[in-house]
Structure 1
Amino acid sequence: MSILFSQELLIYTALVLLVPLYCLYSRVICRSGNPALVLPTNWPILHMFPSFLANLHNLHEYLTLVLAGSGHNFRAHGPPGTGLRFFVTCDPTNVRHIFTTNYTNFPKGAEFADIFDIVGGSLFTIDGEPSHQQRAKVKGALSNPRMAATMAACCCDKVENGLLPFFRRMASTGTPFDVQELMSRFMFDLAAMPFFGVDPGLLSSEMLQDMLHMDAAVALDTFMEVGFSLLMTPSSYWKLMRWLNIGPERKLKVARMVLREFAAEMMERRKMNTCFVGNEDEQEDGDILSCFLNDPDYADDDLLRAMIIGYMFAARDTVGTTLTWIFYKLAQNPNIVSNIRKELSPIASRKAAVGVDAMLIFEPKETRSLVYLKAVLYETLRLYPAAPLECKTVVADDIMPSGHEVHAGDTIIISIHSMGRMEGVWGEDCLHYKPDRWLSVGGNNMRYVPSHKFLAFNSGPRMCLGKDIAIMQMKTVIASTLWNFDVEVMDGQTIQPKQACIQQMKNGLIVKLKKREM
């Protein structure tokens, strides 16, 4: 016992003394313009842990640099006793093996579930048969024609009566605003409406004092940001912090309380609404939560709360974040904006806007066949995937298609962010924003790209169930916005991704709008 204690003391002392020096060293090297010098170094005892810590503030770009120089795969280990054994990859053949060919050997794992315990039991954390059953239930709800119509109607209503009126006010006064915060509010409302049958109203100025819903939105961000850092931290460290209620775990404790209160309120409001409606069949088709409330397999309130919060993670963050990056890239590429408007023009010519301030709304049935707009969405997701990393745990020893061995207990990090920036995967122009790469010859159809090469919507048995809904929502927002307004990104901003499970912009995105002259 004393020998083990001495080893741990030695490791912790080395971390305290050497990691700050290495962090300072790497920052200086980065500013000197020679990033090759901060590639992972396999130090005695500490292995690559200092390198990871030193670059945690810019991990996505760091992993891209390392993966590009190491053939799309590399290993990283922490000090003995920390349990940090990583295999990092962005190799499409490995991804296919992990997500499809041998996916049962690569679950998210118990540690991932412990970190994101607030959504424990939901699709966010579970694997195997429980995941299969829950996915079938959710898929059935989402594929219901009445549900699909409800979600499309909610999106159009929120764009027409919430988003575009706000844009018109901002354009008329020339007032800059943070489009990322706005998209977060918009998607919070849009996610809640078809799931709970309740509109939180975060997009409405009169609802700005609704602190429960605002706090819930902040708590979602906290979990995505803090959870990301914990994935790279020895479990013994963050479990000790949780026990002592200090550091990031203190923030997570507050976030858990807020999110549980929000989920409980949504369940209560939904149950009360059900009591006042006589036709139960209409209720089951009216929102997603109803089909779970009426199912005895989901009678556990803790499980329902976890599912509610997990749904809000998926529905709010992924689409809202992607919309922000789309606005940013389109503001830099006016030629692409012109191409989108050209594709929208035949639809617009069949619609009539009534009144001086009237604006055109492009409905899902009208934008469904728009190929170029879809290519713009995919190109944005290629370079700025909403979820930049996927983490898996190895159950049994295996050999990757790349020839690398992985061992039981290893953590596999799939860098989706890096995959979109690999010349060996996407060609010499991989860093260029080119929607045309997604189009077939002639530009009339989308080119086939396998999901293990483009992981924005996951792959294999865990393919995103809300993919079509997300595309519908993004098409409606982008088409309706670009046809009615010009978007200008304000100068002087530092645009960089937040280091979190969801790749939001660290400092938001301040834009200004101008109403288009038709």
Structure 2
Amino acid sequence: MKLPSVLGRQLTSVHVTLGLLSLAAALLYSSSRSSKTKPAPNATKRVPYLPSLPILGNALDLKRNGHRFLEWLTEQCLSREGLAFTLRNPGRGDLLVTANPEHYEQVMKIQVDNFIKGKYVQDVLADVLGCSLMNVDGEHWKFQRRVVANLFSSRLLREHMTPIVQKHMKNLQNVFSNAATAGERIDAYKLMHRFTLEAFAEIGFGCELGSLASGQEHPFETAFDDAQRFVAVRSRGPVLLWKLKRWLNVGSERQLRNAMAVIDELVMSFISKAIERRQLRSEGDLTQILGKDIVSIILDSVESNGQVVEPVEVRDIAVAALVGGRDTTAGALSWLFHTLTKHPRVEAKLRAELLTKLPKLGESDDYVPSLEEVQELPYLEATIHELLRLLPPLAFTGRFCATDTVFPDGTFVPSGTSIWICYCGMARLTSLWGPDAAEFVPERFIDSETGAVLQFPPSKFSAFNVGPRICPGRTLAWLEMKIVVACLVSRFHLVEPPGQETPYSIGITVGMKNPLMVSVERVAAGTSAAAASG
């Protein structure tokens, strides 16, 4: 299964002018940094560099392959069978890239204290994520991790989150049902994002945006999408360029500031109301009911740790949870539905399992399976696993080496090195996944003898990370994905227009650059499992 292609981007003349000025300074800085390369200790091996040009380094390679960056990065990894290589990256210093599972485990789990987010990542993401779990290190991170661990307990998932997901699933299904009746095409990518935003807004803030039912985009939805897109613009350009634009308040930086104003106004209003309810209740007003939403749980956790409640910190945690819980799940669902249109065998086999094990899916549109019911669908789980393997929500993860580090294979990583773990490269290693590593084959996650789902070590299957930074909201993500896929695949068949292109876009997550337009065909009532599997 090839990575989806990506369309190139054009820069305005203003951006080019600013970019050239910024790049000139960056090249001098980068050249100075690269000339001070630290020698590797004895008995270790230094990671080799890609062929590069003096001063420019690999800038031309990156520019030439900008329209297909993930494909190019994956090709470099596979040509070295996952072994690490180093890019000379003007403006940011050297960048070590690896698709070696052992390196991944060392960075994210075993020697995790040596590898931090680093100032570059924190600067790029600060205006959206603030000082949140996804953007800090050290003791601050440990405190927030304890707080966030309380948000996704089994009890809350079962009693509070599942009913909300089921409710919004019915709204999503109505959109698909109406499209099937009217013979209209719909944008599945937008709808998946709208669904996850609606569900998380109620789970997180106790509010209903109403965009799924109304079909109208909520200003918060627009601002949230804009903010992530403009952060992606930052990550693609020289640091000096976006900082200059921010100082001048022009272009994408001005648009980012406007988007964040909308987001912060709404989120802070929810936080203020939650704090006010708690204050009134503490003063004896028992009519104030404390919610089970994430904001309320964060406030409980902060207070129980003896900390003073700072609304800005609550905001940072809540927004980070929204970023982690909305776009990753929506993107995975979108790519899965697109992939199923290209793999009718998998779609038919999946539908057969759904209609056999949960026959009520074919009997009533009002039925939405429970948390317990979707746990008993091994082929559904295997299909999602396989999608997340080949097209993970994060194509790579970056860290900054804070101290000289040596991996067990002797690879030396000097302090001050930026390192990328290339998940897309790992997923396509034949040494790891076999000769069909690049193919979409859910059966690789099924035990051929027992029919049970195979559990691979996190260092091999990396969709939710490994080690102390493993995704805290993965149980909610699994719940949403299983319920959405179960309800839609059992009842509808999606057809993409001939020739539709689905290039990816790289932001905080890997999304789709274009709408995912689909026609919706209802699966015939009473379809038997045998017919579905035929």
TM-score by length of 2: 0.83
Give, in whole Å, the separation in 1 of the partners of 2:385 and 2:524. Answer: 29
> Which letter maps to 1:173?
A
C-alpha separation in 1, matches of 2:192 and 2:147: 28
Which residue among 58, 77, 83 is the counterpart of 2:88?
77
Q: Does 1:12 align with 2:12?
A: no
Q: Distance in 1 between matches of 2:241 and 2:232?
A: 17
Kept after mapping to 1: 8 A contact 2:233/2:252: yes
Q: CA separation in 1, counterparts of 2:75 and 2:163?
A: 44
The equivalent position to 1:309 in structure 2, one of 314, 319, 327, is: 319
Q: Which of residues 373, 380, 384 is equivalent to 1:377?
A: 384
Any idea what SS the aligned residue of 2:116 has? Answer: coil
Residues 188-230 of structure 1 deviation map (CA, whole Å, 9 limit, x = unaligned)? 1111111111111221216x2643x233332343245324425
- Alignment partner, residue 128 of structure 1: 138
| Between 41-50 and 137-146, the greater mean CA deviation after superposition | 137-146
Tell me the distance in 1 between the aligned counterparts of 2:359 and 2:26: 69
Give 1:345's aligned residue. Answer: 355
Counterpart CA distance in 2 for 1:347 and 1:382 is 25
1:243 is displaced (CA, Å) by 2.3
2:499 is aligned to: 492
What is the CA deviation profile of residues 464-487 of structure 1, one whole-angstrom value per residue up to 9, with x for unaligned ones? 111111111100000011111111
Offset of residue 9 of structure 1: 8.5
Stretch deviating more after TM superposition (426-435 or 124-133): 124-133
Structure 2 residue matching 1:440: 3-state secondary structure:
coil
Q: 2: distance between equivalents of 1:264 and 1:145? A: 27
Pairs aligned (count): 477
- Look up the SS of the partner of 2:455 in the other structure: coil
Mapping of residues 248-263 of structure 1, within 5 Å: 248-263=252-267
Once residues 441 and 459 of structure 2 are traced to their aligned partners in structure 1, the CA distance between those partners, rounded to angstroms, is 20
Q: Secondary structure at the match of 1:95?
A: helix
Distance 1:214 1:243 in 2: 26
Please give the alpha-carbon distance, in whole angstroms, between the structure 1 residues aligned to 2:444 and 2:102: 21
Q: Which residue of 2 aligns with 1:219?
A: 226
So what's the TM-score if we normalise by structure 1?
0.85
- Name the aligned partner's letter for residue 135 of structure 1: R
Deviation at 1:272, TM superposition (A): 5.9
Aligned to 2:247: 243
Spell out the pairing of 1:99-118 with structure 2 (5 A cutoff).
99-118=108-127
Q: Which runs of 4+ in 1 moved over 4 A?
A: 8-11, 13-16, 271-282
Cross-structure match for 1:33: none
Q: Deviations over 1:458-514 (max 9, x none)?
A: 111111111111111100000011111111122121122112231111112111111
Secondary structure of the structure 1 residue equivalent to 2:221:
helix
Is the contact made by 2:132 and 2:313 (CA closer than 8 Å) also made in structure 1?
yes
Amino acid of the structure 2 residue aligned with 1:257: A
Please state whether the residue corresponding to 2:133 is helix, strand or coil.
coil
User: Contact 1:359/1:484 (CA < 8 Å) preserved in 2?
Assistant: no
User: What is the letter of the counterpart of residue 412 of structure 2?
Assistant: E
Any unmatched runs of 5+ in structure 2? 1-19, 29-48, 526-534
* CA distance in structure 1 between the partners assigned to 2:411 and 2:189 by the alignment: 40
Percent identity of paired positions between Structure 1 and Structure 2:
27
CA-CA distance at 1:155 after TM superposition = 0.7
- Maintained 8 Å contact 1:121/1:306: yes
Closer, same or farther in 2 for the Cα pair 1:443/1:497, shift >3 Å?
farther
Q: 1:71-97, CA deviations, whole angstroms, 9 ceiling, x for partnerless residues?
A: 322101134xx3421001111000010
Matches within 5 A, 1:402-413: 402-413=409-420
Structure 2 equivalent of residue 432 of structure 1: 439
**Counterpart of 1:139?**
149
Deviation larger for 294-303 or 89-98: 294-303
Distance in 2 between the 1:71 and 1:298 partners? 50
Report whether the alignment pairs 1:467 with 2:439: no
Structure 1 residues not aligned, in runs of 5+: 1-7, 17-38
Matched, 1:323 2:309: no
Change (3 A) 1:9 1:181: closer
- The partner residue of 2:97 within 85, 88, 103 is 88
User: For each residue in 1:143-189, what CA deviation from the matched residue of structure 2 results, as whole angstroms up to 9, or x when unmatched?
Assistant: 151453211111111112x1111111000011011100011111111
- Tell me if structure 2 keeps the 8 A contact 1:85–1:410: yes
Q: Where does residue 3 of structure 1 map in the other structure?
A: none
Segment of structure 1 superposing worse, 179-188 or 270-279: 270-279
- Whether 1:150 aligns to 2:157 is no
**In structure 2, do the counterparts of structure 1 residues 183 and 269 end up closer, same or farther at CA, with 3 Å as the change threshold?**
farther
What are the Cα deviations for residues 225-270 of structure 1, in whole angstroms up to 9, with x where unaligned?
Answer: 324425xx3x334333332334443333233323222322332344
